[in-house]
Amino acid sequence: MISETSGAASKELAIEQALIDLEAAWSEIELEVGAYKDRAFEKTVDYWERALSHIMETIEMILQVQRQWMYLENIFLGEDIRKQLPKESAEFDIINVDWKTLMTTLNGDKNARRGTHKDGLLEKLTTMNTKLEEIQKSLDMYLETKRQIFPRFYFLSNDDLLEILGQSKNPPAVQPHMNKCFDNIKALQMKPVAGAVNKLEAIGMESSEGEIVPFGSPVLLEGPVEAWLCDVERTMRWTLREILKNCKISLKKMITKREKWVKEWPGQMTITASQMQWTTSVEKGLMQAKERQDKKPMKSVKKKHIAFLKKFVESVRGSLSKNQRAKIVGLVTIEVHARDVIELLIKKDKYSIPIRIRVPRQLWSTCYHSTDRSMLHHAYDCAPSSSWWFAKGSSWYWKNRNNERSRKSSGHVCHCH
């Protein structure tokens, strides 16, 4: 009994002493807390972060201003552009001086950090960039007015158009861009005006194949370039109408000598006149066939058609120039198609004259030519500006506003206004 009591007391004493020692030890232990980040370099790091960001922003703005300045400098070097845009020219001159001064300063101290941290530099560059953008907008509006006067300028890029406008007193400068304004027109035939100094007039047009069509009357190449180009376009149309009329008259006189006739006229005119003559003969044949209820009139038309096709084939085998061969081959291609149409009409016993031709999207049209007045008539039930005829190579197509096109198999094929 005594032994048990003594043992328990000894154990309690040991526990009590351990608790006292534990409390004494933890009462002296300290919790050391340090900074989450080492702030010894905080200010230095923050400075370089802002400095490098400023350097990058300034350099980007310098490059942006430089691009616009280089583009506009080439434009405002031309006296013609400066006269037509005096306000923008004056503003650009001020920016030009400021820009060169700024570049001289930066070149004097080539240290990137010091150079880009000059007081007010970034703000000045931003202002210059804003003014250059305003000048660019004014320039775009100026080009738009020129394009509205002569819509074919829409086919040219701004750089090409500015090149032309910058040399408005030099008509030959337009020549490299003629093919972009007028399909397959390589150049205008120009000559000095008799009795005038430094004045030119256009007397004809030349295709990429070298075919030359003289104008019915010369066009004076003087004044704003967009104005005399409009005169050139009007003269082109008038000339082609007159040539078409004369080509059609000549075809009637040389109906049995088409292989000679085709060599004397421009390629597209021969195709158009030939198609007009074909339509007239087919129409006459259809009327006679309907009256007689007989295929013989149409068979007679086919026989005559095949006869002159054979003559064309024989002429192709002979000695021809490159352009003459191309003209005859193009015409033969169209006439072979016309022959197939005649055969189709004969096979199907179709003797009624179609007065309308169906094309995509329910678009109806008739196009015919009045020989005595050389007038072209066009009737359709849609807006005139939404559709037109156009020639591509040796084939003629109808094109509507949806950019759909279909081959015209009969009728008179011409440019319609």
Residue 154: predicted pLDDT? 94
User: Is residue 56 domain-shared with residue 130, that is, in the same domain?
Assistant: yes
Q: Which residue has the tokens 């027109």?
A: 185
Listed residue (408, 366, 403, 409) closest to 386, CA to CA: 403
Residue 295: predicted pLDDT? 83
In terms of residue numbers, what domain contains 391?
Answer: 357-407
Residue 310: predicted pLDDT? 86
Contact call for residues 205 and 317 (beta carbons, < 8 A): no
In a domain, 219, yes or no: yes
CA gap 221, 137 in Å, rounded: 30
User: Is residue 178 domain-shared with residue 128, that is, in the same domain?
Assistant: no
Residue 232: predicted pLDDT? 95
**Would you give per-residue pLDDT tens digits along the chain (417 residues)?**
777 888 888 888 889 889 988 888 888 888 887 666 656 677 888 888 999 999 999 999 999 999 999 999 988 887 878 888 899 999 999 999 999 999 999 998 888 888 888 888 999 999 999 999 999 999 999 999 999 999 999 999 998 998 888 887 889 989 999 999 998 899 999 999 988 888 899 999 999 888 899 999 999 999 889 999 999 999 999 999 999 999 999 988 887 788 888 888 898 899 999 999 899 888 888 888 888 888 888 888 888 888 888 888 888 777 888 888 888 888 888 989 989 988 888 887 766 655 444 444 433 344 444 444 433 443 333 333 333 333 333 333 334 433 444 333 333 333 333
Q: How many domains does the chain have?
A: 4
Residue 92: predicted pLDDT? 94
CA gap 395, 268 in Å, rounded: 9
In a domain, 223, yes or no: yes
**Which one of 244, 262, 280 terminates a domain?**
244
In a domain, 30, yes or no: no
User: Is residue 131 domain-shared with residue 172, that is, in the same domain?
Assistant: no
In a domain, 280, yes or no: yes
Number of other residues whose CB lies within 10 A of the CB of residue 371: 13
Number of other residues whose CB lies within 10 A of the CB of residue 11: 9
Residue 378: predicted pLDDT? 39
Residue 100: predicted pLDDT? 94
CATH number of the domain where residue 110 is located: 1.20.140.100
The residue type of 235 is T
Residue 231: predicted pLDDT? 95
Q: Which residue has the tokens 């931003």?
A: 126
User: Is residue 210 domain-shared with residue 274, that is, in the same domain?
Assistant: no
**Which one of 244, 276, 309 terminates a domain?**
244
Number of other residues whose CB lies within 10 A of the CB of residue 205: 23
User: Is residue 331 domain-shared with residue 370, that is, in the same domain?
Assistant: no
**Which one of 89, 115, 149 terminates a domain?**
149
In a domain, 8, yes or no: no
Contact call for residues 365 and 350 (beta carbons, < 8 A): no
CATH number of the domain where residue 218 is located: 3.20.180.20
Residue 168: predicted pLDDT? 78
Residue 148: predicted pLDDT? 94
Residue 353: predicted pLDDT? 57
User: Is residue 142 domain-shared with residue 55, that is, in the same domain?
Assistant: yes
Residue 314: predicted pLDDT? 82
CA gap 175, 173 in Å, rounded: 6
User: Is residue 145 domain-shared with residue 159, that is, in the same domain?
Assistant: no
User: Is residue 191 domain-shared with residue 132, that is, in the same domain?
Assistant: no
User: Is residue 75 domain-shared with residue 124, that is, in the same domain?
Assistant: yes
Residue 37: predicted pLDDT? 61
CATH number of the domain where residue 336 is located: 1.20.58.1120
Listed residue (338, 276, 328, 327) closest to 304, CA to CA: 338
User: Is residue 98 domain-shared with residue 184, that is, in the same domain?
Assistant: no
Contact call for residues 286 and 352 (beta carbons, < 8 A): yes
In a domain, 1, yes or no: no
User: Is residue 116 domain-shared with residue 198, that is, in the same domain?
Assistant: no
In a domain, 77, yes or no: yes
Listed residue (416, 369, 362) closest to 391, CA to CA: 416
User: Is residue 68 domain-shared with residue 112, that is, in the same domain?
Assistant: yes
User: Could you tell me which residues are beta bridge partners of residue 185?
Assistant: 207
